[in-house]
Amino acid sequence: MKKIFLLLGAVSTLALTSCDWDDDHTHDYVDHDTISEVFEVDNVNFTAAGDFTATIPLDPEIYSSDVVLVYRLSDTDPLGADIWEMIPTTYNLPEGSLSYFTDFSVNSVAIYLDSTFDPLARPDFSLDQIFRIVIVPGYFSENVDTSNYNAVMSALEQQNGPIEIETLN
């Protein structure tokens, strides 16, 4: 009988010590089912006829909890890598100030060009622009420096693996 109690005691001790009862213990959580989307829109022209606005439809629609991040190709670095600048942004130019800003709904993204002068006087800012649209879950944007395109892409790749960038015209 003592051997049975000894065996039950040993099994109970093993079972209880193998459980994690620490509610304060933090666990790293990796989300494997969140789908983020990245696409590039080129040949964007801001003209008076379009009220200096570009509207990009989202097909399919996004979730209302998603966040849309918009980046403009502003230059290349000395090694030829693209430099992406987050919108909104403002430039103080010799002609005056020029700003890009954006808003989005579940079915479209709008990019606006506003300036204190005729934006067509600066075709390097108003014509043939290239933008990257990054759609992420709302919680994702709280944990990443969204102003840094490379940090966003790195975090997305860590979470979801390689990211394909579709080009829309």
pLDDT for position 143 = 81
Q: Could you report the per-residue pLDDT of 117-145, keeping only the tens digit for each?
A: 999 999 999 999 999 999 998 888 788 88
The tens digit of pLDDT for each residue in 50-66 reads 999 999 999 888 988 89
Contacts of 143 (CB under 8 A, 6+ apart): 155
Cα–Cα dist 64/59, whole Å: 14
Q: By C-alpha distance, which of 77, 53, 70 is closest to 126?
A: 53
- The list of the chain residues with pLDDT below 50 reads 3-8, 10-11, 13-33
Question: Are the C-beta atoms of 127 and 113 separated by less than 8 Å?
Answer: no
pLDDT score of 9 = 52
Which CATH code is given to the segment(s) 38-168?
2.60.40
Cβ partners under 8 Å of residue 90, min gap 6: 97, 98, 99, 100
For 85, the token pair is 């600048």
**Domains of the chain by residue range:** 38-168
Using CA atoms, how far apart are residues 37 and 33, in angstroms rounded to an integer? 13
CA torsion, points 81, 131, 104, 53, in degrees to nearest 10?
150
**Residue 163 confidence (pLDDT):** 82
